[in-house]
Amino acid sequence: MVDTSVSFMRSLCMGVIEEQIVLPFPRVQDEQRETLRTVIESIRQLLGSKETDFAAWDRAGEMPKEFIEQLKEFGLFGLIVPEEYGGLGFKSTAYSRTLQEVAKYDASVAVTIGAHSSIGMRGLVLFGTDEQKQRFLPRLATGEMIAAFCLTEPGAGSDAAAIKTRAEKDGDDWVLTGNKLWITNGGIADFFTVFARTGDESGKVHMTAFIVTRDMEGVSVGPHEHKMGLRASSTTTLHLDSVRVPEQNVLGPLNKGFKVAMQILNNGRTGLGGGAIGGMKRLIEMSTQYANQRQTFGKPISEYGSIKLKVGQMVVNCYATEAVVDMVAMLIDQGYEEYAVEAAISKVFASEALWQAADEALQIAGGNGYMCEYPYERILRDARINRIFEGTNEILRLFIALTAMNDVGSQLQELSSTVKGIFDDPIKGFGVMRQYAMKHATLVTGYPRAKSRFTLVDPLLREHAAVFEDATRHLAAAVDRILRKHGRNIIGKQLASRRLANIMIDLFVLACVLSRVNSSLAERGAEGAQRELDILKVFANQVQRRVRHAFSLIDINDDELIKGVADYAFEQERFVWDNI
């Protein structure tokens, strides 16, 4: 019996390896495989011949309406809508795989579909009442209505709790007033999941999610924003001028909008992850073809070690990204409740792996890579946003680390009254940590000795499993050491948190790669899985080196020095040295 309340990473920070969560490696469910194959084939047919169009739409900064109609006809707006409402009913695994396919051709198209399904209407799927679903899902499935997610405002990006859009009760309606910024699909959407401030009787400020439709009086959108990348995808402002929203359009629990927003983002992360994988697979194809045909000094550049290093790393990172994104999708599909840390890890890893791949692919193409005639620069521009939206990677790293530290703090019985709960919502919780009882912070005893090894992996993988197990032992100790070192100041010690987050990211991704290779070994045997074994070996060695380095910096580092250098720059607001 699987306990779906357990989180692999949160347990790992306590030194416990819940291997049954990540083993065996997930596969697409049988009942969705056939549909998925058909969808992938139709995506190839629809997008495969449009490279010139995508380049032109990027330059023009717009996607033609007729093309959006085609996306609707191909059913691409109904991916996650349950079948009873006319959609394909894809779970996270199949959804992520579909976005991967779309992203191989064009990121603007992937984001248009992704913003609709990953975040725009996900709140309705997750929290909607039967009546709300009945009212909107059939139209969202066909694309008659396109959805958008509206949280960000001019004064509230990462600090989402600072939104100013207000919702005030007036009779049976809510009246919404405010401005939303950078809303993906804003120009083409009819269905908006809008977050606004609501207060309770005690005067406390909360947030609530509402369904707003374009036909409501007082709803308007600004002009199409010109962006660095994803230029063909629609991004606009959304203005709400005393918009009357009926009570039946409250989405999810009243005053729990922050949790609703976070759950939508967590649940939708495999869309972004799938898109990143698609981008990387395309880049690998482009780079290998280019390097095989481009000759310098009488040889194809693919024969040079410097180029092999780039391509090899792209392949390793792509394999690892697919492993972690698929694993998170499986956690969601199997009904795990605690996957926010794992989902955040997959977003950070995927977005950075894609960025690195786009940068290296451009480098392999040399001067051609810089020319707009080739797609490299567009892919690079498109890729950049992934580290910023759906939670910046800085904020997500803090979330990952602070969740771990909260758990460890809570484990210490004597500490629990002082520490527990402060990170219930780590993003909102900055600055609220109270007195931390440093003298009690010792984790020397009390850790379970059981579940400290991978027992379900093939003996051929023992060496790599040992790398993971060794790092895990250090991880719990590291969390403790960081907490003891910084005490109640930990929230202000972002570089220490970042270090811990990086260790956690590496370890979770390694667990996923280990699991993926383990399944390949079982299916194809050692010979059939030889290349994957090599990938695992490279990745495990890299993780081992990075993690060792990160551990070594917990106590001895230049954190204060480099912050001092930055503070001086902030004071001067310029670079002061000149060697004339």
Ligand X SMILES: Cc1cc2nc3c(=O)[nH]c(=O)nc-3n(C[C@H](O)[C@H](O)[C@H](O)COP(=O)(O)OP(=O)(O)OC[C@H]3O[C@@H](n4cnc5c(N)ncnc54)[C@H](O)[C@@H]3O)c2cc1C
Catalytic residues: 390
Phi/psi-derived region of residue 28, left when phi > 0, alpha when psi is between -120 and 50, beta in every other case: beta
Which DSSP string corresponds to 275-312? Answer: HHHHHHHHHHHHHHHHHHH-EETTEEGGGSHHHHHHHH
Residue 388 touching ligand X (CB under 6 A): yes
Residue 14 touching ligand X (CB under 6 A): no
Which residue's CB is nearer to ligand X, number 89 or number 279?
Answer: 279
If we measure between CA atoms, which residue out of 211, 10, 243, 236 comes closest to residue 121?
211
Which residue's CB is nearer to ligand X, number 49 or number 220?
Answer: 220
Near ligand X by CB under 6 A: residue from 157, 275, 278, 375: 157
CA atoms within a 13 Å half-sphere pointing along the CA-CB vector of 387: 11
Q: Total number of residues binding ligand X (CB under 6 A)?
A: 22
The answer to whether the peptide bond before residue 24 is cis (omega within 30 degrees of 0) is yes
Tokens of 382: 């498109």
* Shortest-Cβ-distance residue relative to ligand X: 157
Near ligand X by CB under 6 A: residue from 115, 167, 320, 354: 115
Residue 227 touching ligand X (CB under 6 A): yes
Which residue's CB is nearer to ligand X, number 62 or number 394?
Answer: 394
Near ligand X by CB under 6 A: residue from 90, 127, 182, 290: 182
If we measure between CA atoms, which residue out of 532, 534, 542, 478 comes closest to residue 510?
542
**Binding piece for ligand X, criterion CB under 6 A, among 68-76, 169-177, 292-300, 382-390:** 382-390
Residue 254 touching ligand X (CB under 6 A): no
Residue 210 touching ligand X (CB under 6 A): no
Residues 425-464 that bind ligand X (CB under 6 A): 430
Phi/psi-derived region of residue 218, left when phi > 0, alpha when psi is between -120 and 50, beta in every other case: left
User: Quick check: 507 and 12 in contact, CB under 8 A?
Assistant: yes
Near ligand X by CB under 6 A: residue from 6, 23, 216, 395: 395
DSSP H/E element including 113: helix 107-114
**What is the Cα–Cα distance from 122 to 126, expressed in whole angstroms?**
6
Residues 480-539 that bind ligand X (CB under 6 A): 494
If we measure between CA atoms, which residue out of 37, 6, 38 comes closest to residue 22?
6
Percent helix, strand and coil across the chain, each rounded to 5? 60, 10, 30
Instruction: Work out how close the CB of 5 gets to ligand X at its nearest, in angstroms, rounded to a whole number.
Output: 29
Instruction: Work out how close the CB of 391 gets to ligand X at its nearest, in angstroms, rounded to a whole number.
Output: 6
Residue 554 touching ligand X (CB under 6 A): no
Which residue's CB is nearer to ligand X, number 164 or number 308?
Answer: 164
Tokens of 83: 């079948």
Q: How many CB atoms lie within 10 A of CB 163?
A: 25
Residue 389 touching ligand X (CB under 6 A): yes
Which DSSP string corresponds to 197-230? Answer: EEE-TT--EEEEEEEEETTSTTEEE-PPPP-SS-
Which residue's CB is nearer to ligand X, number 184 or number 208?
Answer: 184
Residue 151 touching ligand X (CB under 6 A): yes
Residue 112 touching ligand X (CB under 6 A): no
**What is the Cα–Cα distance from 381 to 231, expressed in whole angstroms?**
9
Instruction: Work out how close the CB of 152 gets to ligand X at its nearest, in angstroms, rounded to a whole number.
Output: 3
Which residue's CB is nearer to ligand X, number 212 or number 307?
Answer: 212
How far is C-alpha 319 from the chain's CA centre?
17
**Binding piece for ligand X, criterion CB under 6 A, among 122-130, 148-156, 337-345, 354-362:** 148-156
Residue 559 touching ligand X (CB under 6 A): no
Instruction: Work out how close the CB of 220 gets to ligand X at its nearest, in angstroms, rounded to a whole number.
Output: 17
CB-count exposure of residue 356 (10 Å: 0-12, 13-18, 19+): middle
Instruction: Work out how close the CB of 180 gets to ligand X at its nearest, in angstroms, rounded to a whole number.
Output: 7
For residue 194, give every residue at least 6 positions away whose Cβ sits within 8 Å of its Cβ, in sequence order, or none.
150, 165, 176, 180, 209, 210, 211, 212, 238, 240
Which residue's CB is nearer to ligand X, number 119 or number 475?
Answer: 119
Residue 146 touching ligand X (CB under 6 A): no
**Binding piece for ligand X, criterion CB under 6 A, among 8-16, 34-42, 89-97, 142-150:** 142-150
Instruction: Work out how close the CB of 70 gets to ligand X at its nearest, in angstroms, rounded to a whole number.
Output: 22
Name beta bridge partners: 210: 194, 250
Residue 158 touching ligand X (CB under 6 A): yes
Instruction: Work out how close the CB of 224 gets to ligand X at its nearest, in angstroms, rounded to a whole number.
Output: 12
Instruction: Work out how close the CB of 268 gets to ligand X at its nearest, in angstroms, rounded to a whole number.
Output: 11
Residue 235 touching ligand X (CB under 6 A): yes
DSSP H/E element including 525: helix 494-528
Near ligand X by CB under 6 A: residue from 47, 146, 150, 511: 150
Residue 313 touching ligand X (CB under 6 A): no
Binding-site ranges for ligand X (CB under 6 A): 115, 148-152, 157-158, 182-184, 227, 230, 235, 385, 388-389, 392, 394-395, 430, 494
